[in-house]
Amino acid sequence: MFQFCSDPDQLESLRWFSCYLTTGKHMNLYWSVLTVLTLLAITAPTALAFGFAGASAARSRVAPLRWFGKTYIAIVRGVPDIAFFLFFVIALDQGIEYLRHKALCADWDQPIRQGNDFIVCQAAKMPLGNAPQWVHETYGFAIAVLTFAIVFGAFAGNVLFGAMRAVPRAQIETAEAYGMSPRQTFRRVLVPQMWVYALPGLGNLWMVLIKATPLLFLLGIEDIVYWARELGGSKTPRFTEYPHPDWRMWYFLALLVFYLIFTRISELVIDRLMRRLTHGQATTGGEAQRNMA
């Protein structure tokens, strides 16, 4: 990156590290941090939407909808995350290719399932083999976001379902006494008051989501854990211009510091949200604020 990096063998320690930390692979490491942050920024609201839909369905008066919501929450929460990630990505990818195959390759006369192989025509591949690299990366990232959203949406749904039940029944009865319909009661009374009960659980879920981002490696995405392991391993002069011994401990230590700082910032934001939500509420937090005032 710098002009003096043309001959690494002639560099002193400080310049050597400045050149080493600005190589193309290290730029991929820095971009992978942005990938993780983008994943969190998209997955968190998407998972919350899945959870809200699941919790609303679980308390629905319509029996099939109620069964669907409770089944979604129970099944996804009961399956280990790694197993679900590995299963769902393969199943979704093959499902998309199967539908495309049926639509685009009507003249195909061979079975799709051939032993342990899943074979579709080239036009049904998702994405296409001749597609640009950014298309493959975007597709993999979208699958990762959907998988994370489904998994953590089930946990968010369980938290929101409990928060809805924690809202005092007297609040609902008062709204009904004023003539509000069930939909109005849900939208104007239940939902605004449930967040104060849901935020502690959602805060813990956010922390778990942050710690789960290294699972991106299982989905074929080169995340920060992948690049830390790749760059930290010992390198010899035969394979790189910047040889070094095994530095994985230092790379993973940097990741540890990164996650600790990120979670600490998250804790401060969650505490501020909790103070804002409990202001004026008939809860322990609201009572504490009134006593302080």
Dump pLDDT digits (tens) for 60-70.
Answer: 888 999 999 99
Please give the Cα distance from 187 to 183 (Å, whole number): 6
pLDDT of res. 155: 92
Return the C-alpha torsion angle 106, 110, 114, 120, nearest 10: -30
How much is the pLDDT for 285?
46
Q: Across residues 280-286, what is the average pLDDT?
A: 52
* Contact (CB, 8 A) for 227 and 209: no
pLDDT at 144 over 60: yes
Whether pLDDT at 240 is above 50: yes
Q: Which of 193-207, 212-226, 231-245 has the highest mean pLDDT?
A: 193-207
How high is the pLDDT of residue 264? 93
Average pLDDT, integer, range 99-121: 79
Pick from 218, 244, 220, 215: nearest CA to 231? 244
Task: Place 154 in a pLDDT band, splitting at 50, 70 and 90.
Answer: very high
Q: Which residues contact 103 (CB under 8 A, 6 or more apart)?
A: none
Q: Is the pLDDT of residue 282 over 70?
A: no
Contacts of 144 (CB under 8 A, 6+ apart): 39, 89, 216, 219, 221
Name the amino acid, one letter, at 166: A
The tens digit of pLDDT for each residue in 2-32 reads 666 766 666 677 777 777 778 878 888 888 8
Matching residue, tokens 């070094």: 244
What is the band of 153 on the pLDDT scale with cuts at 50, 70, 90?
very high
Task: Tell me what the mean pLDDT of segment 257-272 comes to.
Answer: 91
Stretch (H or E) spanning 113? strand 113-114
Whole-number average pLDDT of the chain:
82
Alpha-carbon span 67 to 60, nearest angstrom: 9
State residue 123's pLDDT score: 80
Query: What is the pLDDT averaged over residues 244-261?
Result: 88
pLDDT of residue 5: 72
261, with CB counted inside 10 A (0-12, 13-18, 19+), is exposed
Rounded-to-integer distance, Cα 48 and Cα 165, Å: 17
Which pLDDT tens digit goes with each residue over 172-214?
888 888 888 888 888 888 888 888 888 889 999 999 898 888 8
pLDDT for residue 1 is more than 70 = no
pLDDT at 47 over 90: yes
* Burial bucket for residue 260 (CB in 10 Å: 0-12, 13-18, 19+): exposed
- What is the amino acid identity at position 7? D
Q: How confident is the model at residue 292 (pLDDT cuts 50, 70, 90)?
A: low
**H or E element at residue 252:** helix 248-278
Query: 114: part of which helix (H) or strand (E)?
Result: strand 113-114
